[in-house]
Structure 1
Amino acid sequence: MAKGTTGRFAPSPSGRMHLGNLFSSLLAWLSAKSQGGRMVLRIEDLDAQRCTRTYAERVEADYRALGLFWDEGGRSGGPDGPYYQSRRNEQYAAALERLRQKGLVYPCFCTRAQLHAASAPHRDDGQTIYPGTCRDLTADEIAARSAARAPALRLRVPDREIGFLDGNLGWYAENLERDCGDFLLRRSDGLWAYQLAVVVDDAAMGITQVVRGSDLLSSTPRQLYLYNLLGLTPPEFYHVPLLLAPDGRRLSKRDGDLSLDALLERSTPQAMIGGLAYLAGLNPGAEPRSPESLLPEFDWEKVPKTDIYVPDGLFF
């Protein structure tokens, strides 16, 4: 990795952060800072109904409490703002227009119920593979359906495999047509889709390294396709294992007892950092640590490749 590494925090302020968020955030910070790099804080608040300014402010306070400081972004601002996705509509609209001019964007009138119908193909992880239902509608059909329902916008994908070398998990590839189908750029309610927004923003903010959970691994080929179409340089990707409760369930914001405020009622920031570092293979035990103290220990070779069970007694 180059000396000019720029990583990012990209939280969605739809609730308090949980252990999984903190785990990937710690590794993102350590990876960038161990290379003498910078960190950007971007608030991914595309859905204003779910993502509130109150939660966004709490996210910033949470990172500061844990010692995970950033160099630009959030309320502090910087040269590549705005750093709130809710304020970046013009940038997304410009990217959409460039894709539209390539003849790759079309309206989709499928409802969620239709997309989850038994006849639609599904991936092993349960995600629906878009079958191309609206791909070749005529102008008359589009006009008739538009009168009854506002369309979403999808991007045509080729029958082509796109792969990349993940910095933690190794080689990964997907055939876009077979494994995901034409994907959303904008929802029918007007909200921008994650795939487009994250590509536009990471490029605009000079992000050279993306560290995130392995649940987003399969989205990377779609994003690489967008980078190519838009003439943008993609970052390096590092996908980290997910944290699992002792019963095997994936930790999420729904687990109120594992939100940061609940955890800090029975622990300290240093103890939490030490425990997360232990799970990442960077701390021989779970003794309290600061993020800075872990920098000499950081090495991607130490980080596990498979999902991690959080042992009883560590945080629970």
Structure 2
Amino acid sequence: MISTDDIFRLPAGDEAAFGVAALELFRYQATACPPYRDYLRLIGVQPDAVRTLRDIPFLPIVLFKSHNVYCCGDTPPEAVFTSSATTGMTSSRHPMRSLALYEQAFRGAFRTFYGDPARWSLYALLPNYLRRKGSSLVYMADRLIADCGSGGFYLDDYDALLRDMAHDPKPKILLGVSYALWDLAERYAPKLRDTVVMETGGMKGYREELPKAAFHKILCDAFGVAQIHSEYGMAELTSQAYSAGGNRFRCPAWMRVVARDINDPFDLLPPGARGGLNIIDLANVYSCAFIQTQDAGIVAPDGSFVVEGRIDHAEIRGCNLLVQ
């Protein structure tokens, strides 16, 4: 199997090297990850017959709710990250074999798009995540705040947040869950200096869902910034994509996104076509690197992608094959 060091050394834009690494990891996970192995059997895919990147099947993300998507058998994970869920919903569980691997992934992605963390201060406005256990986002933010050397977590003390940011001479990133940023914008409308405002998606049932462009305009007007950055991540992934504005995300070198036909999850679409989003995250070494998400969007020829929302009736055909 490809080493984790080799995964993070993949050259940006080298599709041939990425394809070789993905196929090598697929062959390992097709045997070592029981839910993925069973899924391949049920859809009639023989791993030895998979010869190209496009032939690799993607595991429906819903199976992280019902199965232990993990390659390491009796070796316990160092952490189990869980997704946020509204009342009555089941959370996804992602066993993380190595927290060092997770840290290598999120630090590498951050450096790719924002450079050395030490030049930034990171202020995290993540109230619903802080109130529960198992948040990969809180773990990432905590370590990045330490790398930055300044910033911190703020639950709902907006006065302290704005006071501390105003006294901070460094360039700043304000990372917030969408509804908390909206509350801050509505109640204070502070004009932020030398600050990147970064939303991490989702109203989580606290506020009405708005089209992304409309929501970003509310934040831009309130905060006096030209663009709203975004972070795209989830409990089932190890890596993150980032948008510097316009809801267009870019991936680190070890991550790819492709679109699929919403009605036929095994049919991959050409660039520019709207469909369900499939993600290859090679940093998902010890779970499954090939994930069929419930997000819809468009992937551009250069590999960047736009998230347009969730797929209606998200139990996509094929998802129920392993759900008992």
Q: Which has the larger radius of gyration?
A: 1
Q: In which range does the TM-score fall when normalised by the shorter chain?
A: under 0.3
- TM-score normalised to structure 1 length: 0.28
Give the TM-score of the pair, scaled to structure 2.
0.27
